[in-house]
Amino acid sequence: MIDLRALRENPEPFRESQRARGADVGLVDRIIAADESRRTVLQDFESLRAQQKTVSRSIGQAAPQDRPAVLAQAKELAEQVKAAEAAANQAATELDELARQFQNLIEGAPFGGEEDFVVLRHEGPQPRDFAAEGFEPADHLALGEGLDIIDTKRGAKVSGARFYYLKGWGMRLELALMNAALDKAAQHGFIPMTTPTLVTPQVMGGTGFLGLHADEIYYLPADDLYLTGTSEVALAGYHTDEILDLSAGPRRYLGWSTCYRREAGAAGKDTRGIIRVHQFNKVEMFSYCRPEEAEAEHQRLLALEEEMLALVGLPYRVIDTAAGDLGSSAARKFDCEAWLPTQQRWMEVTSTSNCTTYQARRLSIREKRDGRTAPVATLNGTLATTRWIVAILENQQRADGAVVVPEGLRPYLGGLELIEPTV
């Protein structure tokens, strides 16, 4: 939810944000008009209610001959107050519906769409020159099948397209990634949590996920619950309708969960292997902080993501995502993309978003400071996910089909240095 007072007093930044996102600029003026209408109707209601109270108090003081007229006036005012209250409630509902359509106000994100991101820097080792090494790299699925650690055929047989089994060292490699991320976050004061993967419409909508991409979310109509595509949703809902004490600094949580995505808008894109699937595991950082601390906290989450990528030795780049490619709740987002040798492209492996006070306003999460309550800021960031296996296999492969285990993960795999093909 946006700050209506800020929009009313200075609407131009909100119009500019909509332009940057390629969204409906006219929504700003419709919200302003609905807010003015609500305030006018509310003022009428409060005026009538004050008159009603005055007349009601005068009934007992009225002379006997005047009392019937006063009672009639009180009755008429009661009907007017009831109608005015209904009108005020309706106006408030209409304003709320419009305001909830508005995406978060961007903060520093580049203008444009999906291809208009800005590359901030390249990090990690240089991408390997496989031609110089004398062999053609295999893609992650061919490697996974040769190592007998990924099985998409039986995944499809059991659950349909874009499902899979991780087997043996594949399953353990995923678990190693998750445990390494857990240790990394715990060292930096994050509270580890396993989170619900089913949430109410109020929580899913409150985090901003029931907007343009709602068709990518699994919904269980019999239970009126949604399956989460990230533990960000459950972690954002954790403090719904609460007043937090942030005097000692941000509250930081780490969510470990299985995630579900229909990927309805991604037909034909990355359908081979396990790059874009319907179910995966993810470790997600989530932070509640004061709004003035959000930008620094955003950099902190990005730094932790980069520490994890350094741990597994992947070549990657950091991009500043363009406004038109941001989620509804994000004011700014940085992605880390690992190099994918067989496709000669960069593939997103982490994402961290500063949602400012957008989610907290929708979920009524506040802080009490100087005798007043105000919305807090929320931020999120990926620390490890199943997709990382794709980049690890392709970047760490040998000519014989074996895969070198990144040194940072070996302690989590009993010292294993090499995953070798099965005979």
Q: Which residues are annotated as a binding site for L-serine?
A: 230-232, 261, 284, 380, 382
Going by the annotation, the residues of the binding site are 230-232, 261-263, 277-280, 284, 348-351, 380, 382
Q: Report the C-alpha gap between 406 and 103 in whole angstroms.
A: 40
Cβ neighbours around 78 below 10 Å, total? 15
Q: Are strands 372-375 and 366-369 parallel, antiparallel or unpaired?
A: antiparallel
Q: Which two tokens stand for residue 259?
A: 């995630």
How far separated are the first and last CA of the chain, in Å rounded? 57
Rounded to the nearest 10 degrees, the angle between the axes of helix 26-58 and helix 12-21 is 140
Nearest to 104 by CA among 215, 23, 9, 10: 23
Q: Are strands 191-194 and 251-260 parallel, antiparallel or unpaired?
A: parallel
Q: Report the C-alpha gap between 94 and 187 in whole angstroms.
A: 46
Count of all residues that appear for the chain in the document = 423
Q: Please, which residues bridge with residue 317 across strands?
A: 122, 337
Tell me which residues are annotated as active site: 261, 276, 348, 351, 387
Going by the annotation, the residues of the binding site for ATP are 261-263, 277-280, 348-351
Is residue 315 within 8 Å of residue 339, measured between CB atoms? Answer: yes
- CB crowding 142-181: b at 16 or more within 10 Å, else e: bbbbbbebbbbeebeeeeeebbbebeebbebbbebbbbbb
Residue 301 identity (one-letter amino acid) = L
- DSSP labels for 4-35? HHHHHH--HHHHHHHHHHT--THHHHHHHHHH
Q: Report the C-alpha gap between 70 and 62 in whole angstroms.
A: 8
For residue 321, the 8-state DSSP code is -
Cα separations in angstroms, 55 against 59, 64, 76, 123: 7, 15, 11, 75
Name the CA radius of gyration of the chain, rounded: 27
351: left (phi over 0), alpha (psi -120 to 50) or beta: beta
SS3 content of the chain, % helix, strand, coil (to 5): 45, 20, 35
